[in-house]
Amino acid sequence: MRRCLEDFNDLEGCRELVSYKLIKEIVLLQRLRHPNIIKLRGHCLWSFQAGGVTAAFEQGSPLQMIQLSRAPGRNDFGCVWVWNFSIPCSPEGVCKGLNEKRNLYNAYRYFFMYLLPHQAPPTLRPLIDQIMNLTGELKSDVSKTREAFEEILHLYKSGLYLQSLSPSSVKDYTALQGVRASGGGVYRCWPSYSQQACVMSVHSTREAAFICSSHPHCSCFTLGAQVTWTGRRLVSFRTGFSDLLPDVDSIVYVKKPKA
């Protein structure tokens, strides 16, 4: 009610809106009966136009997303996941590998699903999708998953995934040694190491030039000395700049005008 009045300053209209929402919740709780949902103890409607709607609910606590994510069988696509796989069991009834399957699937739904598909270079995504499918369907074990990740990490650190890129992409840029771009010309991209700018990691200048050419807003990029834990260099992509500041560890690449 307070927020409605702050936004619209209409007492009668806000009172009517709140009454509608409360009546909707009353009707919903009359049909939803579950031990984990608060119960409607009673309600009263004596003057709808005057906002005379009262409801009494069982005391409860708000549902937090962290609680929901820990619920067994949770799936973001709306279906309850069923444990459907085969593992050998001993005559004593001990099923070896059950915890491994659980841990692998938890890693898939809490980490792989949210991190891997969104930040991998395009040429590595088919391998990422293969890992996602195998772990999500529990068709792989921890050792094979680790080997697959080590292969991707090797391709990522060595730059072998860039073999299909044209070596002439850097020729489209003019290099300015010993300076870095500053002032204006900042835009956002995804994924980025900065929330306020487009900062990405690259293996080489050729990859940075390829990324800049694929961004419609990019006209220059600065290659600095800062690196990630895998040894990749951080690059700042920009639409332009107003100043060039001295920096012996940086190089600014400016896109050449088209002939």
pLDDT band at residue 77 using 50, 70 and 90 as cut-offs? very low
Model confidence, pTM: 0.55
Q: What is the pLDDT of residue 153?
A: 87
On the question of pLDDT at 21 being above 50, the answer is: yes
pLDDT band at residue 177 using 50, 70 and 90 as cut-offs? very high
Element (H, E) at 227: strand 220-227
On the question of pLDDT at 54 being above 70, the answer is: yes
On the question of pLDDT at 5 being above 90, the answer is: no
pLDDT in tens, 122-146: 788 888 889 888 888 888 888 999 9
User: How far is it, in rounded angstroms, from Cα 34 to Cα 74?
Assistant: 18
Q: Which amino acid is at 162?
A: L
What are the structural domain ranges in the chain? 2-57, 64-164, 167-255
User: How far is it, in rounded angstroms, from Cα 180 to Cα 64?
Assistant: 45
Q: Does domain 167-255 have CATH number 3.10.180.10?
A: no
Backbone angles phi, psi at 145, to 5 degrees: -65, -40
Q: What is the pLDDT of residue 67?
A: 52
